[in-house]
Amino acid sequence: MSHTPNKPVVLSFKADTGLQKALSSLTNRSEFIRSAILNALENTCPLCLGTGLLQESQKSHWEAFMKSHHIENCDDCETVHLVCDHNETH
């Protein structure tokens, strides 16, 4: 099967009844689903790639990284972020 660049390809997925009912109320399901998938891909964690879990082999890298970094809340936007301890002024 060949694919022509920029020509839309039809994809399908399974959905439970609740999701199907929610999607059926939308005026443009395809656009909504495209936007949701693109948004999810743009905001995927670079470490776990969206699984929410680190692989066993990633844990040792994470632990080494955290020896010189820490997690804190931003006072301005109130989101959690990583801070490099080498850049901190004490």
Cβ-proximal residues to 81 (8 Å cutoff; 6+ apart), any chain: 71, 72, 73, 74
CA within 13 Å, CB half, 80: 3
- Higher-scoring residue by pLDDT: 45, 87: 45
Q: Which residues pair with 72 in a beta bridge?
A: 81
The predicted pLDDT at position 50 comes to 86
Which residue shows structure tokens 């931003």?
A: 74
The predicted pLDDT at position 3 comes to 61
Query: Does the pLDDT of residue 45 top 90, yes or no?
Result: no
Query: Does the pLDDT of residue 4 top 70, yes or no?
Result: no
Query: Does the pLDDT of residue 87 top 80, yes or no?
Result: no
CA angle 68, 69, 70 (to 5 degrees): 140
Q: What is the pTM of this model?
A: 0.57
